[in-house]
């Protein structure tokens, strides 16, 4: 047996060993993550509409106290 044959056998053994480690890929299920839609953050316990926010801002600005 020459050196080339020894190297080839060693590579084949390594390939078979690596082949045993490789398994079929598992079915990938994507985790659904709820993300915020961005924009203005909530104010208070309930979400305010832009109209309510504007009314409150104007009332606060025009309040003499």
* pTM (predicted TM-score): 0.32
pLDDT at 48: 78
Distance in angstroms (rounded) separating the CA atoms of residues 64 and 42: 27
Task: Give the per-residue pLDDT at 45.
Answer: 66
CB 53 within 8 A of CB 43: yes
Q: What is the pLDDT of residue 29?
A: 73
Looking at residue 38, its pLDDT comes to: 64
Residues 6+ apart with CB under 8 A from 35: none
Residue 18 confidence (pLDDT): 78
Across the 65 residues of the chain, what is the mean pLDDT of every consecutive 10-residue run?
88 82 69 65 71 88 79
Dihedral class, residue 50 (left if φ above 0, else alpha if ψ from -120 to 50, else beta): alpha
């Amino acid at each position: 047996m020459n050196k080339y044959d020894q190297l080839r056998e060693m590579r084949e053994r390594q390939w078979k060993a690596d082949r045993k480690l490789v398994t079929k890929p598992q079915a990938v299920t994507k985790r659904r993550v709820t993300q915020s839609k961005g924009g203005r953050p909530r104010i208070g316990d309930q979400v305010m509409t832009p109209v309510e926010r504007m009314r409150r801002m104007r009332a606060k600005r025009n309040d003499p106290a």
